[in-house]
Amino acid sequence: MVRSFAEGIISGIMIGGVYSLVALGIVVVFKSTKVITFTQGGILLMGAIIGWAFIGPAGLPVGLGVILTLAACALLGMCLDRFTLRPIIGQPILASIMVTIALAWLFDSVGTLIIGGGERPYPPLLPQGTYRWGWVNISQSLFLQFIIAIIMFIAFTLFYKYSRLGLAMRGTAEDHEVVQSLGIKVTNIFNYSWIIAALSGGLSGILLASTLGATVGLSGIGLKALIVVLLGGMESIPGVILMGPMIGVLENLSIQFLDPLVGGGLGEVVPYGVMLIVLLVKPYGLFGLKRIERI
């Protein structure tokens, strides 16, 4: 019992690290554009399918396939901003949100058209063995996915804090008019934000599909990432880093210990229940900032 509990917590933390990586894209887009995107799950699905096409049927080496997949995802993010969201700048924010919902449905439909309703197995990208730490067994693939997610977060943090583009994105997140007065083109920052979101979604899609296979159901991870964002705070990157593992642990322990008691399905419900309770108490999320506007 204790061993199963410990393994469930550790595995949940590692799965949650990937959830945080997916959620990073949602936060970056919101900080720059103030648009809550529902497209991240669809981008994740496209990353998984493109990676499968390059590494599987096309037979490309794994490294080259991953690089080309990320390049394709970056191009996808650029096109999403340029051709679907930029034309409606200045319209009510609800219009932009509805466009992201429509895009999410479009990507689900395209995914179904390409791979059908089944699962397309991935070539082994990560080791499929098990690490044994004392009396606890941990999947090698989960552990390496978690390490990759940590590396990506460190790289993004350094980029966001110290690079010229990162500083411009931070300024845009605070005030569009101020950065425009400094000669920074806000629409370019929007474009870069969508590229970063697409890269985080595409990489997450490759990582998850390497263990789960390429399946249309992967797009549902986008909703779990949205839970992470709402719990952590829409503008809080540290919030999503912390909340991803928490949601992963809750989900994993619910599946492991509660699902057998009710016949299954509770693992999918618990994260949403926790989100509802937290938002009733902290509407801006656990780490979100309440903006006060004075007249």
Q: How many CB atoms lie within 10 A of CB 276?
A: 11
pLDDT of residue 18: 93
Q: Which residues contact 144 (CB under 8 A, 6 or more apart)?
A: 126, 127
What tokens does 100 get? 């992201």
Q: What is the pLDDT of residue 291?
A: 61
136: phi then psi, degrees, rounded to nearest 5: -110, 130
Q: In the prediction, which pLDDT does 53 show?
A: 92
The number of angstroms, rounded, from the C-alpha of 266 to the middle of its chain's C-alpha atoms is 22
What does the pLDDT average to over 261-285? 85
Report angle CA 253, 257, 258 to the nearest 5 degrees. Answer: 100
Instruction: Check residue 290 and give its pLDDT.
Output: 67
pLDDT digits (tens, 9 = 90+) for 232-272: 988 888 999 999 999 999 998 888 888 887 777 778 888 88
Output the pLDDT for position 242.
92
Mean pLDDT score across all residues of the chain = 88
pLDDT tens-digit profile of 40-59? 999 999 999 999 999 888 88
Element (H, E) at 131: strand 130-133
**Integer Cα distance of 12 and 271 in angstroms:** 12
DSSP of 237-287: HHHHHHHHHHHHHHHHHIIIIIHHHHTS-HHHHHHHHHHHHHHHH-TT-SS
pLDDT in tens, 151-166: 999 999 999 989 998 9
* pLDDT tens by residue, 77-92: 999 999 999 998 888 8
Question: How would residue 292 be classed by pLDDT, with cut points 50, 70 and 90?
Answer: low
Question: What would the mean pLDDT of 122-142 be, rounded to a whole number?
Answer: 81
- Please give the average per-residue pLDDT across 213-237, as a whole number: 90
| pLDDT (0 to 100) of residue 257 | 83
